[in-house]
Amino acid sequence: MTREWQLVVGLEVHAQLLTRSKIFCGCPTTFGGEPNTHVCPVCLGMPGVLPALNRQVVEFAVRTGLALGCAIQEKSVFARKNYFYPDLPKGYQVSQYELPICVGGGVDLTLDGVERRVRLTRIHMEEDAGKNLHGVAADGSSGVDLNRAGVPLLEIVSEPDIRSIDEAVEYLKSLRAILMFLGVNDGNLEEGSFRCDANVSLMPVGSTVLGTRCELKNMNSFRFLRQAIEFEVRRQSEILEGGGRVVQETRLFDPQRGETRSMRSKEEAHDYRYFPEPDLPPVRVPAAWIEEVRRSLPELPRARAARYQRDLSLSAYDAGLLTADRETAEFFDASVRARGGGAESAKRIANLLTGEVARLANDAGAGTSRGKLTPEALAGVVRLTEAGTLGGPGIRQVLEELFRQGGDPAVVVASRGLAQVSDESAVEGACDAVLTAFPGEVERFRAGESKLLGFLVGQVMKGMKGKGNPAVVNAMLKRKLGA
């Protein structure tokens, strides 16, 4: 970004809804499968068929709208968006236009410690298109796979409120986390179930008049989004500085070359000849239903993170890690409940979850976030630690065993002999042995080389195979050395 230009971004997100069946028919929404096996006359666009709206789609839209602070419209209308493309068998997409189901709302972000809100324009429901497959047939010709045709989507449109690339990425990450928390979307950018078009323009710094935008398509990772906007900023600023004008158009990001290319000139709404879908009645969402959905909303990531900081004195960083996904947040909450202690215990649970347990999960590979560890078992580990039964190396070993095999921490500690030794006479025996074995070091310590205490503690721990309670060992050695 040069000094003279202010970046302006508005994002349109398409999120596939996690319903079992498609939006207007009973076909499954499962990703993949042999081409054209999840299809029926309705989603193939045969003449004479009638769509029937999937109620779950509406509920997911309401849930999402409520979570994002939108006004839910009691009446909304499906419309036909007409365009011709091989992957669109009907020649139009059923979407919402003038009367979408949700309007307004926003996504709150914290960017470099500063609170920001990106407003939403609207959220509407629509059907996905199929997919063109090139060179798939034996003779090298192309085909169309309509398994995805009719899969329900939410289109979430932001206002042009975003002012930096970091903010665009943060917005997308927050929105994705919210949708995943709500259980309406799987957040998979790679498979295209969460995808985004970025509208990018520049205006002179200090101006309030937005410049001409380009719409960037096909960014299936946060990194690509970043690269595409960076490229576009360079391209547009060069045009503007050369005295030229940016042409409003749709551009495709090419990840291989790291650049955007013109795809087509921007179509206007009138090109689509929108009109109300005559085969579907207006969507009615009774106020009572909206309230029912509102009551079923889970606690969302930001609210949760704020609660962890406020009630459990966790750092913003830890609170952020623990609310990155719903599973982790719920595992943490359940562990804290099972432990029943105060903020101290919660902090210990947080440390183990974001430290040792995360490391074990990482080593084990994706999809095994907690292995066989349960919240009750984690709470048990913390209880044993607080009782002095478990110390550093023991904690690690117990967790590893619980992660791989599951079980009761107390039983694992007993059967594998992992308990920390706090017994005074056992510790005293080990200390005496070390004091006898290292007379030189003992003498130097007494002569003032105080850092040798660490060495002696280390020798005692070694003699006790790492199981000595460090606090007891320290106190015992100091007493014996008259320190």
Here's the x/- map for Mg ion, 111-130, by CB under 5 A: it reads as --------------------
CB of 223 to ligand ADP, least distance (A): 21
CB of 211 to Zn ion, least distance (A): 43
Among 9, 23, 25, 67, binds Zn ion (CB under 5 A): 25
Q: How many residues sit close enough to Zn ion to count as binding (CB under 5 A)? A: 5
Here's the x/- map for Mg ion, 4-43, by CB under 5 A: it reads as --------x-------------------------------
For residue 271, the 8-state DSSP code is: G
Q: Which is nearer to Mg ion, 12 or 330 (CB)?
A: 12
CA torsion, ordered 293, 299, 303, 306, to nearest 10 deg: 160
Scanning 21-29, 167-175, 200-208, 382-390 for contacts with Zn ion by CB under 5 A, the matching segment is: 21-29
CB of 133 to ligand ADP, least distance (A): 26
Q: Which is nearer to ligand ADP, 171 or 308 (CB)?
A: 171
- Using a 10 angstrom Cβ sphere, with 0-12 exposed, 13-18 middle and 19 or more buried, the burial of residue 450 is exposed
Regarding 43 and contact with Zn ion (CB under 5 A), the answer is yes
Scanning 36-44, 181-189, 288-296, 350-358 for contacts with Zn ion by CB under 5 A, the matching segment is: 36-44
Do the Cβ atoms of 348 and 385 come closer than 8 Å? yes
Amino acid identity of residue 142, one-letter, is: S
Torsions phi, psi of 380, nearest 5? Answer: -65, -40
Question: Of the candidates 289, 12, 270, 267, which has an alpha carbon nearest to the alpha carbon of residue 162?
Answer: 12
Locate 112 and state its tokens.
């470099």
51: number of Cβ within 10 Å:
19
Among 7, 9, 11, 27, binds Zn ion (CB under 5 A): 27
CB of 199 to Mg ion, least distance (A): 7
Q: Which is nearer to Mg ion, 156 or 418 (CB)?
A: 156
- Closest-CB residue for ligand ADP? 10
40 binds, among ligand ADP, Zn ion, Mg ion, none (CB under 5 to 8 A by kind): Zn ion
First-to-final CA distance of the chain: 62
Q: How far apart are CA 373 and CA 11, in angstroms?
A: 39
CB of 228 to Mg ion, least distance (A): 15
Scanning 26-34, 90-98, 297-305, 434-442 for contacts with Zn ion by CB under 5 A, the matching segment is: 26-34
482 φψ region: left (φ > 0), alpha (ψ -120 to 50), beta (else): left
Q: What are the residue ranges of helices labelled H in 249-391?
A: 287-295, 301-312, 316-322, 326-339, 343-352, 358-364, 375-386
Q: Which is nearer to Zn ion, 42 or 373 (CB)?
A: 42
CB of 378 to Zn ion, least distance (A): 45
* Cross-strand bridge partners of residue 115: 110
CB of 27 to Zn ion, least distance (A): 3
Among 1, 18, 40, 157, binds Zn ion (CB under 5 A): 40
* Footprint on this chain of ligand ADP (rule: CB under 6 A): 8-12, 157-160, 199-201, 210-211, 213, 215
Q: How many residues sit close enough to Mg ion to count as binding (CB under 5 A)? A: 1
Q: Looking at beta carbons, which pairs linking 183-188 to residues 24 or more positions away fall under 8 Å?
A: 183/18, 183/298, 183/326, 184/15, 184/17, 184/18, 184/60, 184/63, 184/64, 184/154, 185/15, 185/16, 185/17, 185/18, 185/154, 186/16, 186/18
CB of 196 to Mg ion, least distance (A): 11
CB of 106 to ligand ADP, least distance (A): 12
Q: How far apart are CA 33 and CA 243, in angstroms?
A: 51
Q: How far apart are CA 87 and CA 30, in angstroms?
A: 18
213 binds, among ligand ADP, Zn ion, Mg ion, none (CB under 5 to 8 A by kind): ligand ADP
Scanning 19-27, 91-99, 161-169, 342-350 for contacts with Zn ion by CB under 5 A, the matching segment is: 19-27
Q: Which residues bind Zn ion (CB under 5 A)?
A: 25, 27, 40, 42-43
Task: List interacting residues with Mg ion (CB under 5 A).
Answer: 12
